[in-house]
Every structure is written in structure tokens, then in C-alpha cells.
Structure 1
Amino acid sequence: MKKINILLADDDDDDRLFFSEAIEQLGLSVSLKWVVNGAELLDYLKTPNIQLPELIFLDLNMPIKGGIESLIEIRSTDYLKHLSVAIYSTSSAEQDIEESLIHGANIYIRKPSDFDELKAILNKVITTNHQYHSSDLSKENFMMVI
């Protein structure tokens, strides 16, 4: 099985650790890199000759450059706009969900506080990722629920 390259953009140390441990326990063939804000994310994505991630998990509330601002830049950059972007946030605010959908995120995931729930969500997103390239996204099928 081909290794899936995942990039996590999240400024919270505990959330990054929680995420990394969940990925590790799933036993999937995954290469995980992380950055701590949107500016680092875009600098990384624009590094010449890097292997672009198949999936980006993007927190909304980060310093320097937030998730929506980063998402807009990804979607307006020709060689990045095809990337799958999962918004990964503690927010369940309708405005955040709608803004993420409008600006082209592939899915919206509310960060779970339960480790087993996190593993279930990550497993589902990583193993079914390609369905989120579809153009028939609606608010009803945009938010990931386990």
C-alpha cells in the first residue's frame, strides 16, 4: 500500500500529540508532518521539489495566518488547489462551517475530546479521502460525524 502523506497545521501542542498518537495507533501507512500556523503551512507547500501531501488537516484558529486565510490561498494557487483539505477545529459555529465549505474545504471535522472517537474519525477520513473530491458537497454531507 502506498504511503499517504498527511500534513497537520495546528498551533496546539496537545492537539498535535493527540493527533500523532491516533495516527500511529491506526497502523495505516501514513507519513505525518506538522506545522504550527498557516504561514508555515504555505511556506512548506511552496517549498520547491517537496512531495505535496495527499491530505491536509487544517485548524481554523491559529496565530499569524488562520485556517480560512490559508484555505483561500491554497484554493487560489494552481498547483495546490487540487489538494484535499480537512478543516480540523474545535469550533462548531455555523459561520465557521459555512465559510469552510464556501472557500473549498473538502470536509469539516470537529476535534473530538475522546481518543477512540478521534481514531475512528481519522481512519474514516484517511481511508475514504478520495470521495471528498466530489463536486456535490452540501452542508449536510460536509461535516464529518461518527
Structure 2
Amino acid sequence: MSISNTKPSVFLADDDPDDRYLFEDAFHEVAQETDLVMANDGKELMEILDLTVPPPPEVIFLDLNMPFKSGFECLSEIRETNKLKDIPVVIFSTTSEKEFIDRVFQQGANYYLCKPSSFPKLKNAIAQVLSINWSEHRPPTTRDKFVLQC
């Protein structure tokens, strides 16, 4: 895998091939000037991050329920690793259970986004996240602003 150093990159870690395919299609419709790097599971994400950072991706979209290494484990590892700890992480999951949302909020995720139910909503959600100026952004201090609506 080669990652261009001239374009910013966004990472997606998701074990569902259909979800990755839909995300990739929607992503390329809203972000032509950004590379998308996809990982099939959390273990692969952490290996890619170890090999490619620096430079860090603009943001990581992270699914929670994955084999080999869950999104919870990845988030902990990212926040505990000096070269990774400042990378924005958006949890991107079908899970909407309060306990999971509370857990990743406490672990330091930047936002929580439930996977949208339609392609247009997915495009809007990706565009919403990509429009954030992460260099000036501070994570939400309250849980109600932590969960993005799409």
C-alpha cells in the first residue's frame, strides 16, 4: 500500500466489506482531494498507523465491533501512543447503546456517529466530519454534543 504525501488522508477501520464499500463511494463523492486508507479490522488499523504516521491522518473513522482488535482497544492504544494521541477519532458504529457511547466519550473519542441508514445521509455525515477544522477544534465537553446527528 502506498499513501501519497501530497494529499491529506482519512482512515476508516471497519470489518464489514459492504460498509467499507458504501463509505468509500460516499467519501469519494465528497472528498476528491483526500486519500482514503481502509483497514479491515483494528489490528490492521494499528499496523497501518504504526507504519505511516507521521504524517497523521486528518481523522480516523473507527468501527467498534471488529475482530482481532476492537474499536475500544484501538481507541485506547491511539490515545496512549505519543505519535497518535492527537489524531481526531470519530467512532462510526451501528451500536447506539448508551454504555458504549459513554465509554468511548470517556476514552477520548472526538465524536460518535451512528452509521447512517441511507447513502445521502452517509455523504452528509462524512462531509460534516470533514468540514471540521481539527487544528482549531476542541472535543465536546458534554455528551449531548458528542453524538453527531446526520
Whether these two folds match at TM > 0.5 is yes
* Alignment equivalent of 2:106, drawn from 99, 102, 105: 102
Contact 2:53 2:83 in 1 (8 A): no
CA deviations over 1:107-127 (Å, ceiling 9, x no partner): 000001200000011001001
Match of 2:46 in 1: 42
Unaligned runs of 5+ in 1: none
Q: Choose 36-45 or 86-95, whichever is displaced more.
A: 36-45
> What TM-score do the two structures reach when normalised by structure 2?
0.89
Match of 1:122 in 2: 126
How well do the aligned residues superpose, as a CA RMSD in angstroms?
1.8
Q: Choose 9-18 or 44-53, whichever is displaced more.
A: 44-53
Cα offset, 1:131, TM superposition:
7.4
SS at match of 2:86: coil
Contact 1:84 1:105 in 2 (8 A): yes
CA deviations over 1:80-103 (Å, ceiling 9, x no partner): 000000000000000110011000
Distance in 2 (alpha carbons) for counterparts of 1:91 and 1:97: 8
Percent identity over the alignment?
39
Contact 1:101 1:139 in 2 (8 A): yes
Match of 1:137 in 2: 141
Q: How many residues align?
A: 145
Contact 2:26 2:123 in 1 (8 A): yes
Distance in 2 (alpha carbons) for counterparts of 1:132 and 1:103: 21
Distance in 1 (alpha carbons) for counterparts of 2:37 and 2:72: 20
Match of 2:67 in 1: 63
> What TM-score do the two structures reach when normalised by structure 1?
0.92
Counterparts of 1:74-85 in structure 2, within 5 Å, are 74-85=78-89
Match of 2:117 in 1: 113
Match of 2:3 in 1: none
Distance in 2 (alpha carbons) for counterparts of 1:104 and 1:49: 19
Contact 2:54 2:83 in 1 (8 A): no
Cα offset, 1:136, TM superposition:
4.4
Task: Give, as a single letter, the amino acid of the residue that structure 2 aligns with 1:97.
Answer: I
Match of 2:8 in 1: 4
Distance in 2 (alpha carbons) for counterparts of 1:132 and 1:90: 29
Q: Does 1:31 align with 2:35?
A: yes
Unaligned runs of 5+ in 2: 1-5
SS at match of 1:109: strand
